[in-house]
Structure 1
């Protein structure tokens, strides 16, 4: 089991945003984290990557917590944030070199992976560009390249399709499929339900900081009595029931 979240309660203040979340992200599995703005998706991710500390509960990655083994925990995951976070004085090449140093990667192997990803995302001729020269979509591609040169066990991707053109979305989904085949797992927060339905194996439906439902599409359809329903239909049924 790659990621285990056990009775997580937490948030930014003493008043919890997240209320008793329990879920897993198994190896070789893409899990879609689905919810409205303010449902708790990004807060959940911030707890998993260690920006926020749980008020209650525990998060384990490959059977260890961040407190038990900080370096082991952090090296086992890679993160693509919703908003690109780049250093204005570093080129694309230097961002890749910084990632290699941060994760203590083999330089030759990491640059081989980077070369493949740079070609896939059409950035190979942009290595000496600074972030100011990149569009938002290109900045997002830089974050994707830096994350996926890491041989992580868990990739966490927050709203991955924001700012990406259709070709880049196709390329990102292909990379996710490759990593899943390698044995990695992916936790993907997204509003694009049709794409999530097509590429995720399981779903976690969040509402007001609580897990309203989780499971495969078939299991969710049965739970909400939506025969052969799409993720959109299931989600809207859930919201309707939660508000009634």
Structure 2
């Protein structure tokens, strides 16, 4: 298996002018572009229905673009399926685990699927269990775990891989404060090791603190991009007290033609 961390000068993710969705007659995304480099965290922001999940599905290769393209680690899915697939790890909003595998067995299965060195993977799994306070739950089955603990298992499996591109959808939902702190530390470590992270979240203060850059979608179109500071400036929110929440509200209102009645 080709390693997802294979050295390449190409961006971890390059989406170029992508138009796509479930129907060619009514596309969800309209000419969306985004680029994500090794070691960066790109925040994906938008209201419900803005096209965030559709964009993620296109990146994962679950949907075929109407036009434009997606490259992961320099390759499209058609050019190099093995490299493309092995370069991505994905954590969905809703945990999805095998009911008959323990937490430890999930990690072992992931290591086998990605062709990881067994000894190194076992050591890494132990470290992740400590980070997420899951050491005592390693022999537990999913049905005995809370939703937050199931989410931790998903995150542990993704971080075990050390992929070129890590995609996480709403990672903070269901996590307790200590788990959130552990997640942030684990993501910082992954970035230091070269993993590029695409993080979709409604928790904007976290993205304002941690994201290198942001992409803001509204009704399937890109309405702002750049560093948190640049996005706030684009929204006209430049004061010392201005927040990313303020900027997002202003951008959406501008995209919709201003407040009703004004």
Tell me the TM-score range normalised by the shorter chain: over 0.9
| Distance in 1 separating the partners of 2:201 and 2:144 | 27
The 5 A counterparts of 1:140-159 are: 140-159=151-170
Question: Residues 128-165 of structure 1: CA distance to partner in whole angstroms, max 9, x if unpaired?
Answer: 21110000000000000000000211111001101111
Runs of 4+ in 1 over 6 A off after TM superposition: none
TM-score (norm 1): 0.97
| 1:202 maps to which of 213, 216, 229 | 213
> Offset at 1:221?
2.4
Matched, 1:239 2:252: yes
| Distance in 2 separating the partners of 1:33 and 1:240 | 18
Contact kept in structure 1, 2:235 and 2:248, CA below 8 Å: no
How large is the RMSD of aligned CA atoms in angstroms?
Answer: 1.0
Question: Residues 81-124 of structure 1: CA distance to partner in whole angstroms, max 9, x if unpaired?
Answer: 11001111211122112111111111111111110001111111
> Offset at 1:50?
1.3
Matching residue of 2:149: 138
The 5 A counterparts of 1:49-198 are: 49-198=60-209
| Distance in 1 separating the partners of 2:94 and 2:116 | 25
| Distance in 2 separating the partners of 1:70 and 1:105 | 19
Matching residue of 2:13: 3
Contact kept in structure 1, 2:133 and 2:179, CA below 8 Å: no
| Distance in 2 separating the partners of 1:66 and 1:107 | 28
Matching residue of 1:12: 22
> Offset at 1:181?
1.0
The 5 A counterparts of 1:15-30 are: 15-30=26-41
| Distance in 2 separating the partners of 1:218 and 1:93 | 41
**Bigger Cα displacement from structure 2, 150-159 vs 88-97:** 88-97
| Distance in 2 separating the partners of 1:27 and 1:152 | 10
**Bigger Cα displacement from structure 2, 228-237 vs 31-40:** 228-237
| Distance in 2 separating the partners of 1:6 and 1:224 | 24
Matching residue of 2:5: none
| Distance in 2 separating the partners of 1:221 and 1:192 | 16
| Distance in 2 separating the partners of 1:7 and 1:67 | 18
| Distance in 2 separating the partners of 1:130 and 1:85 | 13
Matching residue of 1:222: 233
| Distance in 2 separating the partners of 1:7 and 1:217 | 22
